[in-house]
Amino acid sequence: MPRGPRETAAATREPVTRERAVRVAVELADAGGIESVSMRKLAAELSITPMSLYYHVPGKEDILDGMLDVVYSEMHVPRPGVEWRTAMLERAESTRAVLARHPWAISLDARTSPGPATLGHLDATIGVLRAAGFSMPLVGHAMSLLDSYVQGFAMQEATLPLDASGDIGAVTEDIMAQHQMMSNAFPNLAEMAVTLILQPGYAYGNEFEFGLELILDGIEKVHRQQVEAADA
Amino acid sequence: MPRGPRETAAATREPVTRERAVRVAVELADAGGIESVSMRKLAAELSITPMSLYYHVPGKEDILDGMLDVVYSEMHVPRPGVEWRTAMLERAESTRAVLARHPWAISLDARTSPGPATLGHLDATIGVLRAAGFSMPLVGHAMSLLDSYVQGFAMQEATLPLDASGDIGAVTEDIMAQHQMMSNAFPNLAEMAVTLILQPGYAYGNEFEFGLELILDGIEKVHRQQVEAADA
DNA sequence: AAACGCTACCATACGGTGTATGGTTTCGTC
DNA sequence: GACGAAACCATACACCGTATGGTAGCGTTT
């Protein structure tokens, strides 16, 4: 029966490593939001004291970096052979799905110092576009555009006061209560609320696809023009 | 000589109000980033004790909300008559300019409970699109798409390790040092770094316009189709 | 003139945070 | 059985947001 070092009581099981600490931090954030990830709570969850964490990790920043890389590692990585448009679509939708699973990651997304999963993801994406004949500048354009949109949309979506189903219903009363006031000060906003957003079938999440397809159409058009120009 | 109440020493000048507290908080954030806005530092800047702030404000959240609304109030509000595409372009560029001036606002952008400036801004934008004949669903599509892109781009830009000029130069050495390693693990990324990003003329900020024009083109096309379909 | 109440401010304290400093225990190896 | 590294710990500091319960100065009322 092999056993790790330092197993005094019957408490500890797995050894504490940076990897496990980050994994547990992700679980904490999933359960209680990013503000429930503190060095003390994390240490408690690992059955060690706060300062013992610093043996495995240089500081909290490193844990946050690790958490973001875990999130990226859950995303679908485009495979080399796939047609570029399909790959980009899958990538965007996978990103959105993963961020929906880990909403706290949206605010962490602004962080520098990417991890290996993040870099691998970028590398694979560039590879697919290059294989499809995209010029390097166009790869830059396309990725900046797509990533900005996907990340921005996730942030907008997180901002809205939605219930779990993505429906706006839960706050309808609040909005209607303010409606009289809004109609005077912000007539266009009030009209949009009543005739669009508060309509039964409306869900903000559905806006995602419109923008995504529009962007992919635009990129496809530019790509085709470049290819034709090169052939001529 | 009119003087406010409670002017014991010759210290205080302007009276403390929520509005002034928020204004000073913005100055603090501009000077030292969002983490240098604490109730204690803010109170010190206003020459009162921390707890006195709570007479003017329910809590820190309210100050952050106010700060974001100040940022929105600095943005160019589209005027009713303007052609929609021009208005959207100005709006996007103004947003980007203001967020560049207050980088801390990007991370605050995810915050609920918009202020009057924010709502007024939205209202004016909807008004311009409606006046241009956009259907309400298309207004929703267009604004979701544009706002997601602009906000996401600002976030991406803030993530990058850029110096003040927007140039990547400052970190070139770091990248080159890791280049050998990257070439093996992430060949596409390495190639992109060398042949695009590290090239003398390249600045990530220039990517903004490509995406913006592409999006506006796409929206214009959809709009034209809808108008034609309605005419037929 | 005296009492009252309101506005604006303050002192103290609590429970939380990240982490610097400097031990202490346990283990494999010699 | 001594030794050094690996893993963990205790204490403490400077900060944070804010709950609780005051207090000084003012205008108005009686």
**DSSP annotation of A198:** T
Higher pLDDT, B10 or B167: B167
B59 CB-to-strand D distance under 7 Å: yes
Residue B155: pLDDT band (50, 70, 90) is very high
Asked if the C-beta of B137 comes within 8 angstroms of chain A's C-beta atoms, the answer is yes
Length of chain B: 232
The residues in A 197-226 lying below 8 A from B, measured between CB atoms, are 197, 204, 207, 210-211, 214-215, 217-219, 222
What are the pLDDT digits (tens) for B41-57?
999 999 999 999 999 99
The percent of residues in chain B predicted with pLDDT above 70, rounded, is 87
Q: How far is the CA of A118 from the C1' of C24 (A)?
A: 39
Which whole number is the average pLDDT over B76-93? 96
Residue A20: pLDDT band (50, 70, 90) is very high
Question: What are A181's two structure tokens?
Answer: 């006031």
Q: Which fold has domain A71-167+203-231?
A: Tetracycline Repressor; domain 2 (1.10.357)
pLDDT at A164: 52
Q: Work out the angle between the directed axes of helices A84-101 and A116-131 (0-180°, nearest 10).
A: 160
What's the CATH number for A18-57? 1.10.10.60
Domain ranges of chain A: 18-57, 71-167+203-231
Residue A197: list chain B partners with CB under 8 A. 140
Cα–Cα distance measured from residue A132 to residue A197, given in angstroms and rounded to the nearest whole number: 39
Mean pLDDT computed over every residue of chain A? 89
Q: Work out the angle between the directed axes of helices B172-185 and A116-131 (0-180°, nearest 10).
A: 70
Distances (CA, A) of A2 to A5, B40, B213: 10, 53, 62
Which whole number is the average pLDDT over B125-135? 97
What's the CATH number for B1-57? 1.10.10.60
Q: How far is the CA of A6 from the C1' of D15 (A)?
A: 34
pLDDT at A176: 63
pLDDT at B181: 73
Lowest mean pLDDT across A4-8, B86-90, B147-151: A4-8
Closest-CA distance, B95 to chain A, in angstroms, reads: 14
CA A127 to chain centre: 21
Under DSSP, is residue B59 helix (H, G, I), strand (E, B) or coil? coil
**What contacts 24+ positions apart, CB below 8 Å, involve A216-220?**
A216/A85, A216/A88, A216/A89, A217/B218, A218/B214, A218/B215, A218/B217, A218/B218, A219/A88, A219/A138, A219/A141, A219/A142, A219/A145, A219/A146, A219/B214, A220/A85
Is residue A12 predicted with pLDDT exceeding 70?
A: no
| B221 to chain A: closest CA residue | A214
Is residue A9 predicted with pLDDT exceeding 70?
A: no
**What contacts 24+ positions apart, CB below 8 Å, involve A134-139?**
A134/A84, A134/A223, A135/A226, A136/B191, A136/B192, A136/B195, A136/B196, A137/B196, A138/A219, A138/A222, A138/A223, A138/A226, A139/B192, A139/B196
Q: What is the CA radius of gyration of chain B?
A: 23
A15 CB-to-strand D distance under 7 Å: yes
Tokens 């909005």 belong to residue: A175
pLDDT at A113: 85
pLDDT at A4: 37
Q: Say which amino acid occupies B231.
A: D
Mutation target among A108, A194, A207, A221 for the B interface, most CBs of B within 10 A: A207
What are the pLDDT digits (tens) for B208-218?
999 999 999 99
Q: What is the DSSP string of B80-142?
A: TTS-HHHHHHHHHHHHHHHHHH-THHHHHTT-SS--HHHHHHHHHHHHHHHHTT--HHHHHHH
Residue A160: pLDDT band (50, 70, 90) is confident
Asked if the C-beta of B170 comes within 8 angstroms of chain A's C-beta atoms, the answer is no
Residue A211: list chain B partners with CB under 8 A. 141, 144-145, 148-149, 215
Among candidates B48, B202, B219, which has minimal Cα distance to B146?
Answer: B219
Closest-CA distance, B198 to chain A, in angstroms, reads: 12
Is residue A1 predicted with pLDDT exceeding 70?
A: no
Q: Work out the angle between the directed axes of helices B116-131 and B136-159 (0-180°, nearest 10).
A: 130
Closest-CA distance, A105 to chain B, in angstroms, reads: 12
Mean pLDDT computed over every residue of chain B? 89
Cα–Cα distance measured from residue B46 to residue B15, given in angstroms and rounded to the nearest whole number: 9
Under DSSP, is residue B75 helix (H, G, I), strand (E, B) or coil? coil
The percent of residues in chain B predicted with pLDDT above 90, rounded, is 76
Q: Work out the angle between the directed axes of helices A136-159 and A207-231 (0-180°, nearest 10).
A: 170
Higher pLDDT, B165 or B73: B73
pLDDT at B184: 85
Under DSSP, is residue B13 helix (H, G, I), strand (E, B) or coil? coil
Which whole number is the average pLDDT over B218-224? 98
Is residue B207 predicted with pLDDT exceeding 70?
A: yes
The residues in A 60-89 lying below 8 A from B, measured between CB atoms, are none
Q: How far is the CA of A162 from the C1' of D27 (A)?
A: 49
Cα–Cα distance measured from residue B118 to residue B114, given in angstroms and rounded to the nearest whole number: 6
**DSSP annotation of B168:** S
Residue B77: list chain A partners with CB under 8 A. none
Positions on chain C within 7 A of a protein C-beta: 7-13, 16-22, 25-28
Under DSSP, is residue A5 helix (H, G, I), strand (E, B) or coil? coil
Asked if the C-beta of A132 comes within 8 angstroms of chain B's C-beta atoms, the answer is no
Positions on chain D within 7 A of a protein C-beta: 6-12, 15-21, 24-26
Nearest to A215 among B141, B215, B222 (CB): B215
Distances (CA, A) of B119 to A178, A186, B9, B63: 13, 7, 41, 17
Per the CB < 8 Å rule, is B159 touching A111?
A: yes
Name the nucleotide nearest B6; use CA and C1'.
Answer: D25
Tokens 């990103």 belong to residue: A95
